[in-house]
Amino acid sequence: MILTTTNSIEGFRIVEYKGIITGTSFEMKTKFSFKTEKNKNITTDVIDEAKEHAFQELQTNASNLNANAVVGISVDMEIVNGSHFYVSVTGTAVSVATDK
């Protein structure tokens, strides 16, 4: 599946717009370290995990609409109290064909 933040895909033609879809994820940081670098690494891992879950859900939702691409993707991330991470990924599910 093609995922892009742009509204078009070079070399492909959008043949059908399926609808706006979203993938969300909520992760909580359960570990903490007083060492700044280690704490930064823990936080980065939690954010990456939240983004991955949100993108997986986005792709599943696109597949459920028989789409083969998602265009115009935007990512929104909220951090609450430095330990709760909410990620929302939104885009438009489309069917694309090659321009050839």
Provide the 10 A C-beta neighbour count for residue 67. Answer: 24
68 φ, ψ (degrees, to nearest 5): -120, 10
Closest residue by Cα to residue 57 from 14, 22, 10: 22
Q: Look up residue 80 and give its two tokens.
A: 């609450």
pLDDT beyond 80 at 86: yes
Distance CA 38, CA 44 (A): 10
Task: Give the tens place of pLDDT for each residue, 10-61.
Answer: 999 999 999 999 999 998 877 666 778 887 888 888 889 999 999 999 999 9
pLDDT beyond 80 at 100: no
The residues that bridge with 86 in the sheet, in sequence order, are 26, 78
Please tell me whether residue 86 adopts helix, strand or coil conformation.
Answer: strand
